[in-house]
């Protein structure tokens, strides 16, 4: 029996990357997965992968920045399933915007709207579907919510907000048997990386990956499935006494104050191969 057998799991941002990997893992573990994404066509591709593997899933369009869209998702879920067991608030965007005095207001508003406000809206309208029997909510934060990045203050603000919003939700709903935790990935090999800095075979993309592999104690970028299995732990009863926590999965980056001998030691280049 799977760890999420017969449970209904809703995943926003499930078209690609961590969201897609988590949808596949949840389905493998017996969940009925609702793949919610602004890109319905890509979300349907996730569903097809799940069905080909023998799992159960459906795709539904949702724009987490729009109240009507999230309300429609809630209505559909109530009519189709009655209740839900797991909510993975994973939808998010990222983009470099410059120093604060140069940062485009529109970009700041957009990142906050998708990453932070979207987490709030989806939680607000889907929590009522959990109140009767409890459940687990996982919010995608980031190591960038715990420390800052150059020229990305909007993303830092949004992810830092998600981390503390998670704590607020956890104490609000602990006695309703709803656990709320956040997952903070490090640099993960996803299509978002390709969009932000270029693909593996492009010069800028290769430089970015090499730099991140160097600064990461484990000497490599993370994989989407590695994040998905952490989300599985938080979604399942294996974490039944865990709430209000931020679980960082970053290959060790947040564990040090400076790289030390990593500045001159390049063994990671061969160790990670």
Catalytic residue set: 155
Query: What 8-state DSSP symbol labels residue 82?
Result: S
The alpha helices in the chain, defined as continuous H runs, are 17-28, 40-52, 67-81, 105-111, 118-126, 153-173, 191-197, 203-215, 224-235, 268-271
- Diameter over CA atoms, the chain: 60
Q: CB neighbours of 148 closer than 8 A, spacing ≥ 6?
A: 156
Q: Cα separation of 31 and 57, whole Å? A: 8
Tokens of 252: 């060790």
Q: Which two tokens stand for residue 8?
A: 């209904």
**Contact (CB, 8 A) for 215 and 149:** no
């Amino acid at each position: 029996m799977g760890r999420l057998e017969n449970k209904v799991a809703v995943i926003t941002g499930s078209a690609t990357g961590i969201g897609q990997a988590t949808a596949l893992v949840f389905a493998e573990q017996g969940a009925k997965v609702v793949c919610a994404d602004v890109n319905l066509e890509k979300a349907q591709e996730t569903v097809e992968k799940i069905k080909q593997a023998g799992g159960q899933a459906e795709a539904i369009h949702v724009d987490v920045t729009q109240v009507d869209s999230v309300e429609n998702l809630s209505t559909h879920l109530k009519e189709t399933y009655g209740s839900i067991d797991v909510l993975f608030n994973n939808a998010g965007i990222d983009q470099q915007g410059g120093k604060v005095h140069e940062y485009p207001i529109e970009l700041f508003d957009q990142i906050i709207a998708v990453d932070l406000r979207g987490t709030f809206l989806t939680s607000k309208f889907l929590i009522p579907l959990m109140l009767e029997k409890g459940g687990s909510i996982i919010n995608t934060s980031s190591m960038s919510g715990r420390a800052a990045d150059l020229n990305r203050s909007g993303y830092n603000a949004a992810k830092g907000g998600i981390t503390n919003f998670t704590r607020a939700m956890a104490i609000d709903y602990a006695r309703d048997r709803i656990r709320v935790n956040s997952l903070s990935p490090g640099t993960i090999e996803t299509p978002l990386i390709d969009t932000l800095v270029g693909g593996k075979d492009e010069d800028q993309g290769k430089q970015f990956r090499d730099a991140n592999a160097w600064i990461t104690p484990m000497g490599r970028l993370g994989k989407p499935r590695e994040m998905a299995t952490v989300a599985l732990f938080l979604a399942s009863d294996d974490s039944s006494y865990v709430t209000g926590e931020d679980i960082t999965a970053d290959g060790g980056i947040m564990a040090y104050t400076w790289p030390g001998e990593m500045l001159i030691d390049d063994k990671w280049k061969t160790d990670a191969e």
